[in-house]
């Protein structure tokens, strides 16, 4: 267990997950954000291979058939998936990986990756969640209503996560997120593997005091 640590971060739309992730990555060179594959149409300003890998449904089905996804799920009318090979290679190289995924994907990761750390972000209130969805200016009222219904279902799965953050004060939520990532890096099994030589030296039979 000398490789990197795998983290999943889940939250309903409008909870501020993406903003937290961007701020976290800006100050953590050891952490890599995994880029998902999606069948969602590309939005204005998005770049293939940077925001997502944009694929069509036949290509997505082919990746499932070949067992290429660590996790995959349908969210609203679109599908999202994480490349198992990319995550495995990044972790093996000693870098930590963050997956920004929904509860369905996070559950699959927990079942497949021992030691993965799962984090869930909640908004401070329902009213705040609605206001944040409206403030984005991307969706009509009927779409926002649908997203709220999905958010309630999503939030019901907070109990599956290892850690729970309430994003009321952004700086405080970010500090909590950084603390969780730091704690994951010094978990005993991982830290013991990383410091194997030091531990062997410290526990060697005493040969007098020099």
Residue 143 lies in a domain: yes
pLDDT band at residue 193 using 50, 70 and 90 as cut-offs: confident
Give the mean pLDDT of 92-98: 93
pLDDT band at residue 10 using 50, 70 and 90 as cut-offs: very high
pLDDT, residue 208, reads: 62
Say how many domains are in the chain: 1
Q: Render pLDDT for 109-137 as a digit per residue (tens, 0 to 9).
A: 999 998 899 999 999 999 998 888 887 66
Residue 138 lies in a domain: yes
DSSP annotation of 158 reads G
Residue 152 lies in a domain: yes
The CATH number linked to 175 is: 3.40.50.300
Between CA 130 and CA 148 the distance in angstroms is 7
pLDDT, residue 2, reads: 60
**Domain limits for position 138:** 6-34+96-202
Q: Is the pLDDT of residue 138 over 70?
A: no
Is residue 97 within 8 Å of 87, Cβ to Cβ?
yes
Residue 49 lies in a domain: no
Residue 184 lies in a domain: yes
pLDDT, residue 104, reads: 92
Residue 170 lies in a domain: yes
Output the DSSP codes for 40-104: SPPPTT--BTTTBEE--HHHHHHHHHTT-EEEEEEETTEEEEEEHHHHHHHHHTT-EEEEE--HH
Give the mean pLDDT of 7-26: 94
Is the pTM higher than 0.85? yes
Q: Is the pLDDT of residue 75 over 90?
A: no
Residue 45 lies in a domain: no
pLDDT band at residue 87 using 50, 70 and 90 as cut-offs: very high
Q: Render pLDDT for 142-166 as a digit per residue (tens, 0 to 9).
A: 878 888 888 999 999 999 999 999 9
Residue 73 lies in a domain: no
Q: Render pLDDT for 157-190 as a digit per residue (tens, 0 to 9).
A: 999 999 999 999 999 999 999 999 999 999 998 8
pLDDT band at residue 19 using 50, 70 and 90 as cut-offs: very high
Rounded to 5 degrees, what angle do the CA atoms 9, 15, 20 make? Answer: 55
Q: Is the pLDDT of residue 1 over 50?
A: no
Write down the mean pLDDT value for the chain: 91
């Amino acid at each position: 267990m000398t490789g990197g640590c795998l983290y999943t971060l889940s939250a309903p739309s409008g909870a501020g997950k993406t903003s937290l992730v961007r701020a976290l990555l800006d100050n953590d060179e050891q952490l890599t954000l995994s880029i998902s594959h999606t069948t969602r149409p590309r939005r204005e300003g998005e770049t293939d291979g940077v925001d997502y890998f944009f694929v069509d449904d036949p290509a997505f089905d082919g990746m499932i058939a070949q067992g290429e996804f660590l996790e995959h799920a349908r969210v609203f009318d679109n599908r999202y998936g994480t490349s198992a090979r990319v995550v495995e290679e990044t972790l093996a190289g000693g870098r930590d990986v963050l997956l920004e995924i929904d509860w369905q994907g996070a559950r699959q990761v927990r079942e497949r990756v021992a030691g993965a750390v799962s984090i869930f972000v909640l908004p401070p209130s329902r009213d705040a969640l609605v206001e944040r969805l409206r403030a984005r200016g991307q969706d009509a009222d009927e779409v926002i209503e649908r997203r709220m219904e999905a958010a309630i279902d999503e939030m019901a799965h907070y109990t599956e996560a290892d850690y729970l953050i309430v994003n009321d004060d952004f700086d405080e939520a970010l500090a909590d997120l950084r603390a969780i990532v730091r704690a994951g890096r010094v978990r005993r099994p991982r830290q013991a593997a990383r410091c194997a030589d030091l531990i062997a030296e410290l526990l060697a039979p005493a040969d007098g005091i020099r």
